[in-house]
Amino acid sequence: MAKTVYLDFNATAPIRPEVVNAMVAVMEAGGNPSSVHQAGRTARNRVEEARGRLARLLGCKPPEIIFTSGGTEANNFALSSFPDRPLLISAGEHDSVLAVARNAVQLPLTSDGQLDLAALGVCLDEAGEGALVSVMLANNETGVIQPVAEIAALVHEKGGLFHCDAIQGAGKIPVDFKALGADMMSVSAHKFGGPQGIGALVLRDGLAVPPLLKGGGQELGRRAGTENVAGIVGMGVAAQSAHEGLDSYETVAKLRDRLEAQLLNISPESHIYGHESPRLPNTTAISMPGVASELQVMSLDLDGIAVSAGSACSSGKVKASHVLKAMGASDEEAGSAIRISLGWTTTEVEIDRLVASWRKLYQRKSPKFAA
């Protein structure tokens, strides 16, 4: 049986072998990083070494990093820390932002997935000074990259705070927390080859937040509880590997472009969402008109190819993307799109297998080929 072609890196990337090895060593060694004996000091040193590695990937200072249980917790932490501020978010945010910001003003997207900066300016004026604005660096479904530094400057000009969900961007494109101008930034280890269940919120030096969890003095008093040492070390090793491998995404981008050209050759009526905007080098959101997203995902899966219909959710159900609808797609159009996300292990042979499977499904299900 042929090996599964895994093209769902935006849902979770395969864990890197060096990460597994480092985590096993840590779990075998044990030790509480808050203990003062040798085992505790060793564990503390490992946590701080990992913090430094992650800081290098993100262009921030090590003390600005607060380790969390993942990206969702980091987003929740950031957005719930300032309950008295008016909240503005883009309409294309991840569910972990949308769910905690149900009463927020949603900022519109253009047809190419970019934040409408004019609308942001109007909404900032209406909100008055002190708004909290959350806009992701790169969209998890379309890969569209936002002009975050420009957005942050507009927010700060109006006396606001800016949070950036950089969960999909970190490890795929260069990320510099200071240059982006964010006050807070969320990341997640499993998006760049680390373990699941560990992430971080980067908090600008000098910005005070109430502790997320109370109890001990861990994470400089900002999140109590014994640290997930193995997870943190795994995240640090993954961050170092991702930082060293950023150039490899130039090859990934070429594979993605080749893939898109072949799919459009098969199905000229298909649409690639956000193709005129800067995008992550690994992400394609493409429709197959007349064929439901769920059917596409299932058909490709039967051929041993893993893709998705958008953001991974706990229900496991496929639903029309709110991101594509925010870009102007109809329910029918959004309901015929899938997300293909490549990574550092993707090969030309795997792309060829996907193209062949796509062609087979298109010719079988497209109205154009109906009898």
Q: Tens of pLDDT along 293-339?
A: 999 999 999 999 999 986 655 445 566 789 999 999 999 999 999 99
Are 274 and 296 contained in the same domain? Answer: yes
Chain centroid, CA 156 distance in Å: 24
**What was the pLDDT predicted at 215?**
85
For CA atoms 352, 355, 361, 367, give the dihedral sign.
negative
**Hey, what are 28's tokens?**
């075998």
Residue 254: CB atoms within 10 A of its CB come to 12
Phi, psi of 313 (to 5 degrees): -130, 160
**What was the pLDDT predicted at 174?**
98
Residue 29: CB atoms within 10 A of its CB come to 13
Give the CATH number for residue 219.
3.40.640.10
Are 55 and 196 contained in the same domain? Answer: yes
**What was the pLDDT predicted at 273?**
97
Give the CATH number for residue 265.
3.90.1150.10
Are 227 and 274 contained in the same domain? Answer: no
The residues carrying an active-site annotation are: 313
For CA atoms 184, 185, 186, 187, give the dihedral sign.
negative
Are 299 and 352 contained in the same domain? Answer: yes
What is the spatial distance between Cα 86 and Cα 10, in angstroms, rounded to a whole number? Answer: 30
What is the spatial distance between Cα 90 and Cα 326, in angstroms, rounded to a whole number? Answer: 9
**What was the pLDDT predicted at 217?**
83
Are 230 and 251 contained in the same domain? Answer: no
Are 172 and 237 contained in the same domain? Answer: yes
**What was the pLDDT predicted at 314?**
42
The three-state (H, E, C) secondary structure of the chain, written as one string = CCCCEECECCCCCCCCHHHHHHHHHHHHHCCCCCCCCHHHHHHHHHHHHHHHHHHHHHCCCHHHEEEECCHHHHHHHHHHCCCCCCEEEECCCCHHHHHHHCCCEEECECCCCCECHHHHHHHHHHHCCCCEEECCCECCCCCEECCHHHHHHHHHHCCCEEEEECCCCECCECCCHHHHCCCEEEEEHHHCCCCCCCEEEEECCCCCCCCCCCCCCCHHHCCCCCCCHHHHHHHHHHHHHHHHCHHHHHHHHHHHHHHHHHHHHHCCCCCECCCCCCECCCEEEEECCCCCHHHHHHHHHHCCEECECCCCCCCCCCCCCHHHHHCCCCHHHHCCEEEEECCCCCCHHHHHHHHHHHHHHHHHHCHHHCC
Are 192 and 49 contained in the same domain? Answer: yes
Are 236 and 359 contained in the same domain? Answer: no
Which stretches of the chain drop beneath a pLDDT of 50? 314-315, 371
Are 220 and 178 contained in the same domain? Answer: yes
Residue 105 makes CB contacts below 8 A (sequence gap 6+) with: 86, 87, 88, 89, 123, 127
pTM: 0.94
**Integer CA distances (angstroms), 234 to 130, 189, 231, in order:** 37, 8, 5
- Domain of 328? 5-13+247-369
Are 285 and 187 contained in the same domain? Answer: no
Q: Which of 224, 244, 264 is the last residue of a domain?
A: 244
Are 117 and 225 contained in the same domain? Answer: yes
Are 197 and 169 contained in the same domain? Answer: yes
**Integer CA distances (angstroms), 334 to 89, 160, 278, 300, 317, in order:** 21, 34, 21, 18, 15
Q: Which of 244, 278, 294 is the last residue of a domain?
A: 244
Domain count within the chain: 2
Q: Which of 223, 244, 265 is the last residue of a domain?
A: 244
**What was the pLDDT predicted at 368?**
61
